[in-house]
Every structure is written in C-alpha cells, then in structure tokens.
C-alpha cells in the first residue's frame, strides 16, 4: 500500500502549554488534527469557564489562518470546584473536566486530594453530560510507581464508575493490561486514550543503557507485557479506545536537568507514529476508527467531514525543534525513521 486516506483525525488528549509554546504546539497539531482536547494544567490551572475561554482565545490566535482546527477546552478539577463551575462550563461549550490526583504529573500540585470529596461534582457532571477525564494513578508514597495505575483502578476508578453509571469517563493515557481489561469489561460509559509512546516503547526504552529523559513521561512506561496488551487492543478495533497523544512539550534543558520534566512531545509526527504502529501490527484498516471515529462518537460529536492522506515515504523525525522565542525541544522519536508521511 502506497497511500492511505483517512477521515481527518482528532487528538483527544494533549498539552499545548502557553505563551511561546503555543506558537509551536498549535500549528504542529493543526497540520493534521481537526480538534483536540486541551489539558488544563497550566500555572495557574484553568479552573473555570472564564479562564478556559481566555485560554481558547490564545490558542486561536496561534492557529494558522488557513486552518479550521478547533480546540476543545477542559476544566481542572480541584477540591474547590463547585457544581456551579460545572454548569457554567457546560453552558460555555466546555465538554469535559480533568481529574488529576495531586502530584501525579506536571503542574498537578493544585489538584485533588480526597477524591470522594468530589462526588457531588461528579453528580452534577453526570446530570450535565460533561465527561470526566481521569489521570488514573494513586500518588501515595508507599505505592510502587509501576503499580500506581492498577492501584487507582482498585481504590477509586471502579467505585466511581459504579457510583455514577451515567457519567462518561475517559481513562486517559492508559499504560497497563489491567487498565485495558478494565475498560473492556466496563459499561459503555468507560473508554480510554492510548499514546504513541506507550504503544511503541516499554520501560527498557527508558532505563536500559542509561536513563533516556526524552522517553520519560507520566504515567511511566511499563514492562513489555503491558505494552503488548495495549497493542493487542488497538489492533482489535475496539471502539472503547481512541487516539490521545498526551503530547507535552518541554525545553531540552528542562528535560535534561538533574530532575527532568515528564512528557513526550509528539505533535509533529503524531499521526505518522500511529500509522507506523498500526502498520507494524498488520492493522492499518483499524487506524481510521481509532484516530478519527471512536473519540468523536464517544464525545457525542460529529465526525470530521474532510480527510487527510498519508503516503508510504520514509522520513526522519527531526533531532531538534527550535522554539520561536529561543530554546529547543527534542521531539519524541527524534532522529528515527518513520515509513508514513502526511501528504
């Protein structure tokens, strides 16, 4: 196969950051995606409709003039979030809110402590038809970092899903067989996003031969058996799983310091990375559903009405991306060859 035409895909989980990063991250995403769910973990976080709409305007200002790209905004849940915050956000066209357990990832220090305290908010979200997006890890110090996701399922997620059966939940950037099987075994109000890094890599790619900071993300890469289970479920074509890159830019300096930041920046090669994965799995016929149909259907949105075309033409991911106002990003998969390229 030399060419592949798909319904224009969407990215159902990414980080644009703010300020000068927008001049890089927004065009990179808009080149192939029609929409994207924009994560709200800025400093300070996006906690209400007014802040979300202001952030959306900044994103629009960075969007290429010839693009119809549409950012889909989210709220950052805290222990101060109220039912009125949810109602106002829903009325403003904000489709989802994000639950970060405190300390789980970048800029999550202001996040939720004591998840049960948010149950009244979840009730309002369920009534309003607002999706709950969950970074599913516990952060208790005694829990091994490789067990955080399973512990969250057992301690919190199963209970939330049972308590609020009408609440649509997206288990974000899943990394384990436990998460994949939990989603498959749950009701239709449970779905999940899967990143390219968790499909392409396992923890050997982070730790063997020295620590590789540009492969460091949270949730952290897991063992190869978990990676293989994620590859199996996307190859199956199940509509419970869809594209979410978790693309998250950090400068090269910030990634390569003694305490490097978590996040892989994949926006400039995102759809090509997924095409490589599905091709390697012999499942290119399942790529369109994963990238362009399942997420839109789950969110209750129309599928995009235009297409993109990928050509079978090897190219190399850049080693470095220059930021507009100085500094560099080392992208995910830097210096490596991909077989599919956006036409």
CA 166 remoteness from chain centre: 23
The pLDDT tens digits of the residues spanning 155-186 come to 999 999 999 999 999 999 999 999 999 999 99
Residue 129 main-chain phi, psi, to 5 deg = 75, 30
Q: In sequence order, what are the residues at sequence separation of 6 or more whose Cβ sits closer than 8 angstroms to the Cβ of residue 102?
A: 108, 109, 110, 111, 112, 113, 139
Q: Which tokens hold the place of 156?
A: 């919190």
Above 80 in pLDDT, residue 110? no
The pLDDT tens digits of the residues spanning 25-76 come to 999 999 999 999 999 999 999 999 999 999 999 999 999 999 999 999 999 9
pLDDT at 12: 99
Consult the annotation and say whether 293 binds a ligand: no
Q: To 5 degrees, how large is the angle CA 41–CA 256–CA 151? A: 50
pLDDT at 316: 98
Consult the annotation and say whether 41 binds a ligand: yes
The pLDDT tens digits of the residues spanning 199-209 come to 999 999 999 99
pLDDT at 108: 60
Consult the annotation and say whether 69 binds a ligand: no
pLDDT at 239: 98
Consult the annotation and say whether 15 binds a ligand: yes
Q: pTM score, two decimals?
A: 0.96
pLDDT at 259: 83
Q: Tell me what the pLDDT averaged over the chain comes to.
A: 96
- What's the sign of the alpha-carbon dihedral 166, 109, 72, 287? negative
pLDDT at 218: 95
Consult the annotation and say whether 285 binds a ligand: no
The mean pLDDT value for 326-339 works out to 96
Other CB atoms within a 10 A radius of the CB of residue 101 amount to 22
> CA nearest 3: which of 334, 279, 318, 289?
279
Consult the annotation and say whether 226 binds a ligand: no
CA 154 remoteness from chain centre: 22
Residue 93 vs residues 50, 123, 130, 169, 299: alpha-carbon distances, Å: 11, 19, 10, 18, 13
Report the distance separating Cα 224 and Cα 197, nearest Å: 12
Residue 98 main-chain phi, psi, to 5 deg = -110, 130
Calculate the dihedral angle through the C-alpha atoms of 137, 143, 147, 149, rounding to the nearest 10 degrees.
Answer: -10
Catalytic-residue membership of 10: no
Confidence category of residue 80, pLDDT binned at 50, 70, 90: very high
pLDDT at 1: 82
The pLDDT tens digits of the residues spanning 289-309 come to 999 999 999 999 999 999 999
- pLDDT above 90 as % of the chain: 92
> CA nearest 234: which of 283, 269, 273, 189?
283
Consult the annotation and say whether 163 binds a ligand: no
Catalytic residue among 11, 85, 178, 246: 246
Report the distance separating Cα 200 and Cα 281, nearest Å: 11
Above 90 in pLDDT, residue 113? no
Please tell me whether residue 216 adopts helix, strand or coil conformation: coil
Above 80 in pLDDT, residue 103? no
Report the distance separating Cα 291 and Cα 133, nearest Å: 18
């Amino acid at each position: 196969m030399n060419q592949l035409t798909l319904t224009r895909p969407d990215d159902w989980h990414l980080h644009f950051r703010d300020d000068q990063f927008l001049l890089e991250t927004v065009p990179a995403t808009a080149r192939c995606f029609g929409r994207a769910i924009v994560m709200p973990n800025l400093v300070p976080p996006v906690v209400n409709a007014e802040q979300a709409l202001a952030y959306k305007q900044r994103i629009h200002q960075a969007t290429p003039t010839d693009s119809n790209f549409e950012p889909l905004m989210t709220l950052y849940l805290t222990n101060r979030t109220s039912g009125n915050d949810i109602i106002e956000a829903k009325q403003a066209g904000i489709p989802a809110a994000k639950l970060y357990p405190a300390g789980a990832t970048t800029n999550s220090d202001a996040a939720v402590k004591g998840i049960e305290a948010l149950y009244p908010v979840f009730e309002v979200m369920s009534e309003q038809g607002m999706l709950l997006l969950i970074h599913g890890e516990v952060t208790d110090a005694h829990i091994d970092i490789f067990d955080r996701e399973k512990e969250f399922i057992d301690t919190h997620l199963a209970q939330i899903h049972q308590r609020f059966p009408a609440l649509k939940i997206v288990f974000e950037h899943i990394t384990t067989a436990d998460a994949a099987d939990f989603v498959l075994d749950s009701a239709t109000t449970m779905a999940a996003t899967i990143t390219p890094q968790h499909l392409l890599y396992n923890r050997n790619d982070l730790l063997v031969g020295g620590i590789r900071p540009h492969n460091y993300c949270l949730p952290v890469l897991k063992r190869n058996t978990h990676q293989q289970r994620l590859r199996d479920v996307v190859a199956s074509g199940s509509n419970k799983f869809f594209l979410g890159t978790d693309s998250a830019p950090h400068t090269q300096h910030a990634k390569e310091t003694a305490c490097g930041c978590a996040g892989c920046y994949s926006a400039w090669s995102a759809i090509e990375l997924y095409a490589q994965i599905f091709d390697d799995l012999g499942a290119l016929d399942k790529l369109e559903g994963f990238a362009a149909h399942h997420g839109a259907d789950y969110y209750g949105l129309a599928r995009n009405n235009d297409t993109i075309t990928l050509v079978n033409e090897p190219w190399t991911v850049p080693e470095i991306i220059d930021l507009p106002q100085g500094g560099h990003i080392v992208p995910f998969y830097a210096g490596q060859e991909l077989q599919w390229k956006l036409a």
